[in-house]
Chains A and B, each alone.
Chain A
Amino acid sequence: MSDPFAAVYEEIIHEHYKRPKYRRILEGLPYVENPSCGDRVRVSIRLGSDGRIADVAFDGSGCSISMSSADILAEDIIGKTPDEARQSIETFLSVLRGELDVDELDAFGDAVAFKGVAHLPVRVKCAALAWRAALTQIDSIDKPQMNAKS
């Protein structure tokens, strides 16, 4: 509980919540919702001509954890290939599910701030929301390309 970095993590989360870099109004995409608290978020992902993720944006409503997590997700996957992004998201979600050690998050950027959330079962769902949305989104934009190749 008395993690020496707790205050730093909190500051990171607060910063992304209050001053998100990737929050825009999106239309036409489905929301992913957390039925237990009503938080909802949708994530748009655009691939560049080099096959890497060129742009990510989100919108939605929710608590500081779910909204900051969406901003941090965007930051994390921009520049990655869909497969790299998928792997990164799976790792993050596995940590939140308690399947991987929280120290896995040390390899991340600001997502490290969710180390303190990983052991709070109720808030884990908030942190996972945008990442789950992104996973679905990546699958839907990536599939047509794979088909085209084959």
Chain B
Amino acid sequence: MRPQFVAHAPVEENSSVAGALKNEFPLFGERPELIYLDNAATAQKPLSVLDAERDFYLKSCANVHRAIHSIGEEATARYEQARKRLARFIGARPVETVFTHGTTESINLVARTYGETLGPGDEIILSVMEHHANMVPWQQLAERRGVALKFIPVSEEGELDMAEYGRLLGPKTRLVAVTMISNVLGTINPVEKIVGAAHAAGVPVLLDAAQAAPSMPLDVKALGADLLAFSGHKMYGPFGIGILYGTERMLDALPPFMGGGDMISEVRLEGFSANELPYKFEAGTPPISQAVGLEAAADWLSSVGLDALGEYESALAQRFMEGIKGIPGIRILGSAARRAGIVAFTLEGAHAHDVAAYLDRFHIAVRAGHHCAHPLARRYGIVSSARASVGTYNTCEDVDTAIRVLSRAGEAL
């Protein structure tokens, strides 16, 4: 069987688990020299995910929810089975689990449905550390409907200012939409407290789980999330698919999002009536093979010791930070106490692009730029930073090599 990450084990021990898991990723067979540290952007795909998608195309390719023919029935069954699996993956019911094309669409869906019920005098609370996907849809809504946006500030350490959050929450607040893990700073936000305070004020919460889904078990009921969004491709699944979870009460109350086939129960020339949940939000042909691939990704992630994975990734990030903090000119962004496997840093005198290009010469892939979080970069007074983010297949050796190469970057650039 597959090796599993072990909680509270020495990092070297889990590193050998990661090294063994790496063999399940064909891309690393093609590129044995690659040290992939850009997992916060997208994760590589294990063979089981690729096989599942391929198997669907080879054996069951048909459209869903339409055909009477047996292959169409089979495609529908596989698609709905994938929904059940994803629902179980997050502790939800299938009726509450909507397939979208990714986190961005999931959040836009909420902004375009729930958001449309709001207007002047209503407020939405976000944080300064939000990814553009959880910022721009709300800015668009603010322009459309005159809703006011309030932002939870981020401290120098990279943590949310919870006292200020408490002050922002008020009778006008209609939604709190925050990320569980910062895609730049790696900060793990105190979701329990955020949700608790919001619910005490009678305000629903949307959690952006794009970075959390690949690293920790999600239980929407335990989290108390009213809405939760994530993407398949960051959790070792295919591109072009994501999930929007919503409580049945919440989703039921919302108008449909996109119009088209499958989201209707009846169409007349005068109008239409919307389909039941979750189909109400799945207009047109959905990402069917991707759903099958995502099911395989959920299976895969659940089989590697997801409980202990986050702890291992944090330990790797810690090792990386320890290794680079002594390098002259290195500045690490944020120093939150609870931190996932993501580290953003700058190197004095060198642009982040040049740092990333230098690392790339040694086959080390990191992200450079503002990581789709402009306001956060401004918060730290920087234009761009480099970011290393680890995943299930990254070993201590990967991290140590990156540290070694980075220690020479300053003089080379």
Whether A37 touches B377, Cβ cut-off 8 Å, given contacts A63-B353, A126-B353, is no
Complex contact A61–B383 (CB within 8 A): yes
In the complex, B127 has a CB within 8 A of chain A: no
CA distance A36 to B368 in the complex (A): 10
In the complex, A75 has a CB within 8 A of chain B: no
CA distance A123 to B353 in the complex (A): 9
Give the contact-size bracket for chain B: 10 to 19
In the complex, B187 has a CB within 8 A of chain A: no
CA distance A19 to B182 in the complex (A): 38
Binary contact readout A25-51 vs B (1 if CB under 8 angstroms, 0 otherwise): 000000000001111000000000000
With most chain A CB atoms within 10 A of its CB, the pick from B351, B357, B377, B384 is B351
Whole-angstrom distance between the Cβ of B175 and the nearest chain A Cβ: 28
Residue numbers in B under 8 Å from A123 (CB-CB): 353, 357
Give the contact-size bracket for chain A: 10 to 19
Complex contact B369–A37 (CB within 8 A): yes
In the complex, A81 has a CB within 8 A of chain B: no
In the complex, A20 has a CB within 8 A of chain B: no
Residue numbers in B under 8 Å from A63 (CB-CB): 351-354, 357
Complex contact A38–B369 (CB within 8 A): yes
CA distance A61 to B369 in the complex (A): 13
Interface residues of B in 103-126 (CB under 8 A from A): none
Residue numbers in A under 8 Å from B368 (CB-CB): 37
In the complex, A79 has a CB within 8 A of chain B: no
With most chain A CB atoms within 10 A of its CB, the pick from B353, B357, B383 is B353
Chain B interface (Cβ within 8 Å of chain A)?
351-354, 357, 368-370, 374, 377, 383-384, 413
Rank and list the top 6 A-B pairs by shortest CB-CB distance, nearest first. A63-B353, A63-B351, A38-B383, A37-B369, A64-B354, A63-B354
Please list 15 pairs of residues, one from A and one from B, whose beta carbons are closer than 8 Å in the complex, sorted by A's number: A36-B369, A37-B352, A37-B368, A38-B377, A39-B353, A61-B383, A62-B351, A62-B353, A62-B383, A63-B351, A63-B352, A63-B354, A63-B357, A64-B354, A123-B357
9 other A-B residue contacts (CB within 8 Å) besides A37-B383, A38-B377, A126-B353 = A37-B384, A38-B374, A39-B383, A61-B383, A62-B353, A63-B354, A63-B357, A64-B413, A65-B353
